[in-house]
């Protein structure tokens, strides 16, 4: 795989249907949110490391937020 689709993760956020909260349980240093309104494609060569994988429940919330952001739901 030469590239991956990513969403912006920020520590300052407001609750929104296209944002999914993350925090220390997902390997981050503090509470943050994945902003599914900001989607980018990056070459895998620029990714330094993987913090952790999301569990099934959080992944389902992220899938739903992406569908909403893309107008598919």
Specify the 3-state DSSP secondary structure of 40: strand
Using one digit for the tens of pLDDT, what is the confidence trace for 9-62? 888 767 777 788 878 888 888 888 888 888 999 999 998 877 777 889 989 999
The DSSP line for 56-73 is HHHHHHHHHHHHHHTT--
Range of the domain at 35: 3-69
What pLDDT was estimated at residue 11?
Answer: 82
22: domain CATH number is: 2.30.30.110
| Sheet strands side by side (includes 3-10) | 3-10, 32-43, 19-22
Supply the DSSP symbol for 55: P
Specify the number of domains making up the chain.
1
């Amino acid at each position: 795989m030469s590239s991956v689709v990513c969403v912006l993760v920020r520590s300052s956020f407001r609750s929104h249907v296209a944002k999914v909260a993350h925090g220390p349980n997902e390997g981050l240093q503090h509470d943050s949110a994945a902003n599914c309104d900001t989607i980018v494609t990056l070459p895998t060569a620029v990714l330094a490391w993987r913090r952790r994988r999301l569990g099934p429940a959080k992944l389902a919330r992220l899938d739903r937020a992406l569908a909403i952001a893309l107008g598919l739901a």
